[in-house]
């Protein structure tokens, strides 16, 4: 994560109205980049993609994976020794 993006995200945390404005541009990355530049932050398309990915809800499959649904727990016992 770039320092520019970290700084921008910090300003979004302290000013919820900015986050609401940015969310309204969710479907238009170029508009989001222009919007950020108007506020003194020079984001890249990769920065905008990172923001969009962090702001979306997880799918059921992603939630299952995050909860450890893809792995068996407890792990199987070790094979018997000689």
- pLDDT tens for the chain, 82 residues long, are 778 888 888 888 888 888 888 888 878 889 988 998 998 888 888 888 887 777 666 667 766 666 655 555 555 677 887 6
Residue 56: the pLDDT is 60
Nearest to 49 by CA among 14, 1, 13, 12: 1
Q: Tell me, what's the pLDDT at 38? A: 92
With a threshold of 0.75, does the pTM exceed it? no
Smallest CA-to-CA distance from 8 within 31, 42, 34 is with 42
As a dihedral over the C-alpha atoms of residue 37, residue 43, residue 47, residue 49, rounded to 10 degrees, the angle is 40
Q: Tokens 């980049």, residue?
A: 33
């Amino acid at each position: 994560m770039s320092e520019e993006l970290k700084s921008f995200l910090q300003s979004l945390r302290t000013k919820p109205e900015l986050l609401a404005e940015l969310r309204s541009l969710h479907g238009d990355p170029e508009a989001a980049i222009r919007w950020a530049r108007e506020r003194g932050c020079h984001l890249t398309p990769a920065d905008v993609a990172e923001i969009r990915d962090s702001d979306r809800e997880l799918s059921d499959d992603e939630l299952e994976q995050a909860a450890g649904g893809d792995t068996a727990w407890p792990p199987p016992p070790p094979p018997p020794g000689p």
